[in-house]
A and B are shown apart, each in its own frame.
Chain A
Amino acid sequence: MRALAFAARSLVRQPGRTALGILGIAAVGALLFDMLLLSRGLVVSFRDLLDSVGFDVRVMSTDAAPLGGPRVPHASAIAFELAALPAIAEAVPVRLTDAEASTRGTRPIGFSLMGMDARGRRPWTLTAGRDLGRDAADTPPSLLVNRLLADALKASPGDEIAVRVVCAADRAALPPVPFRIIGVAAFPFDAAAERSGVASRASLAIACGGDGGDDADMLLIASREGYGPDAAVAAIRRHRPDLHPATNDEIVARMQATGFTYFRQISAVLSTITLLFGFLLITVLMTVSVNQRLAEIAAIRALGFSRARVAADVLCQSALLVGCGGVLALPLGIALSIWLDAILKAMPGIPSALHFFVFEPRALMLHAALLSVTAVLAAVYPMALVATLPIAATLRNEVVS
């Protein structure tokens, strides 16, 4: 009977303690797994979110984060210039602002309004009605709203609503302008409780009384197939050194270096603590088990089992406990991560498509590697106990006791 089978039988002999050990490791392993998912979850999810809208470069007026700096003036002309570059397939100026919408006799409802000249790629998914057309000259101007705003307004495609746009913080409020809801769409960057809509930039300029009509908060750029985002960024920098383009990867890297580091740090601290708990749990269980079996171990040493063999038995027991617990930890960790993700996503301003816990194969591999190391380290002390056990003295003490 080899060491692994021997260890398995030893564990089965003590079902209560074995079950406690496995459950303990499952709980610790689930937390560890979640911390590993959390450590890169936001980064992966944020990158997926950026990529999902079909544009791989953002152009801003400064190096500030998108929507964090001054607007880009003369955005239409710049978009036209950039779209003519060979590395660029599409350039779309985007303006974002706050607005209020109301139907007849109802109280105004606040929402986020995006002004965007819809061309080929559209960073939303139409769910009802019709999409914005390329021609922005509708009267009244067309508007797509998300489901929450449509429900709040009790409006559906074809209905006319009044929209008052907050064009600038230092300007007096403008009178509301009629818009027609032509469709309902899902916007990937919407928070769970966010009401939002999109209209053409021209419509937004009308609602603002013509003020800042050709400004944009940023330009969304889609690189041409065969060139890629890095080539697109290089081309923009050559053509317009005054602009600040960034690929999705660069934006993610900037976010990773600032806001997302907190999650990584929290994850590292909690991972270390959970591993320490797992290490202590297995070390204590194995040490107690070994101490209760000293006479038995001394007897098998007397029968000719080598030090390495009895130490291997302990290592295999530790590996089995941690292995079984680690496997059980995965479904437990996934269930826990779904629950925690839902709690964290309830924070205001978090896009509902963004996830804090994202599964990656590397997280699974790291989980397995960390638990394996824990199993080995946890077995070191009890292995040393059995390997250095004085056989004769132990047998003598057992008989005397």
Chain B
Amino acid sequence: MTAPLVEARGLTRTFPMHAGPVHALRDVSLRIDPGEYLAIRGPSGCGKSTLLHILGCVDTPTSGTLIFDGRPVGALPDAARSALRLLSIGFVFQRFFLLPMLTSSENVEVPQAEAGVGRRERRRRTAELLDYVGLAHRGDHRPAQLSGGEAQRVAIARALANRPRLLLADEPTGELDRATGEQIALLLDRVQADGTAVVVVTHDPAIAARAARTLLMRDGRIVP
């Protein structure tokens, strides 16, 4: 049996609100193996994105333990969590969040530069990634000059820039039409097939159906 890439035990996340605390996650435990394709589904407000944020180390659980690649994440200082995200976790957002002042190539280069990759290697890797997502010819274009599907493909290339072991996608097709969403789904299939674990939060049953495993969430819990 292989060691898990991510192991979550008894995660809870409570948001203090004026009207009373909101329990976004309640005792969630899960395991993600290297190279696994996991989909998380559920109605709005069920805690999918909160779980994804905790798995991606951008949020901390109120209680519970998260272990990434054998390392407890909870005890890490912010700088170490940033480094972990930079080198081991890729994020794909519903609204892409490409940096508008940079070209597609530069958007893909930015995380590599932050990781200290040399210029020549960055250029090579960026060209490889843009080719991988089918946008080799769009490297000099800015996000405003790209369609939604193209922008999301650039965002996926950016997420893969530092060869992460885990790719987290939060409603990656939420802003796209069906045909473009299908292209993104195919691309995520390919990423997973190439060895990166993929976790997709989605409302779309068609996207979820492509995953090897689907977790259904309701009221902050994983439905058995």
Contact = CB atoms under 8 A, between A and B. Distances in A.
Q: Do A and B come from one complex?
A: yes
Most A C-beta atoms less than 10 A away, residue of B82, B84, B86, B110: B82
A306 B82 contact: yes
Interface residues of B, number: 37
B94 interface: yes
A339 interface: no
Interface of B: 49-50, 53, 56, 58-59, 78-79, 82-87, 89-91, 93-95, 97, 99-102, 106, 109-111, 113-115, 158-159, 162, 170-171
B137 to A, nearest CB: 22
Most B C-beta atoms less than 10 A away, residue of A1, A296, A393: A1
B83 A391 contact: no
Contact of B114 (A302, A304, A307, A391): A304
A392 B91 contact: no
Nearest to A11: B101
11 contacts: A6-B110, A295-B97, A301-B58, A302-B85, A303-B85, A304-B115, A391-B53, A392-B59, A395-B93, A396-B50, A399-B171
A1 B59 CA distance: 26
A155 to B, nearest CB: 72
B79 A307 contact: yes
A304 B93 contact: no
Q: How large is the interface on A (under 10, 10 to 19, 20 to 34, 35 or more residues)?
A: 20 to 34
Contacts of A300: 97, 99, 110
Contacts of B97: 295-296, 299-300
Contacts of B115: 304
A47 B133 CA distance: 73
Given A305-B114, A306-B79, A391-B59, A1 B106 contact: yes
A342 to B, nearest CB: 45
Interface string A1-18: 110001001101100000
Nearest to A396: B49
Contacts, number: 86
Counting from the closest, the 7 A-B pairs by CB-CB distance are A304-B86, A299-B97, A13-B101, A392-B59, A392-B53, A391-B58, A304-B85
Interface of A: 1-2, 6, 9-10, 12-13, 295-296, 299-309, 391-393, 395-396, 398-399
A302 B78 contact: no
Given A304-B83, A396-B53, 17 more contacts: A1-B113, A13-B100, A296-B100, A299-B97, A300-B97, A302-B85, A302-B91, A302-B93, A303-B90, A305-B82, A305-B86, A305-B114, A306-B79, A308-B79, A391-B53, A392-B49, A395-B49
A303 B101 CA distance: 17
B102 A9 contact: yes
Contacts of A308: 79
A300 B49 CA distance: 17
Nearest to A8: B101
Contacts of A398: 95
Given A296-B97, A392-B58, A1 B109 contact: yes
A306 B78 contact: yes
Contact of B58 (A2, A295, A296, A302): A302
A9 B103 CA distance: 11
Nearest to B89: A304
A175 to B, nearest CB: 86
B10 to A, nearest CB: 19
Contact of B111 (A10, A12, A303): A303
A13 B82 CA distance: 26
B189 to A, nearest CB: 22
Contacts of A1: 102, 106, 109-110, 113
Nearest to A14: B101
B51 to A, nearest CB: 11
A6 to B, nearest CB: 8
B115 to A, nearest CB: 7
Contacts of A301: 58, 82
Nearest to B90: A303
A396 B95 CA distance: 11
A399 B49 CA distance: 10
Given A13-B100, A396-B49, A302 B56 contact: yes
A304 B79 contact: no
Nearest to B113: A1
A101 to B, nearest CB: 73
Given A304-B111, A309-B114, A399 B102 contact: no
Given A1-B106, A9-B102, A395-B53, A299 B113 contact: no
A299 B107 CA distance: 12
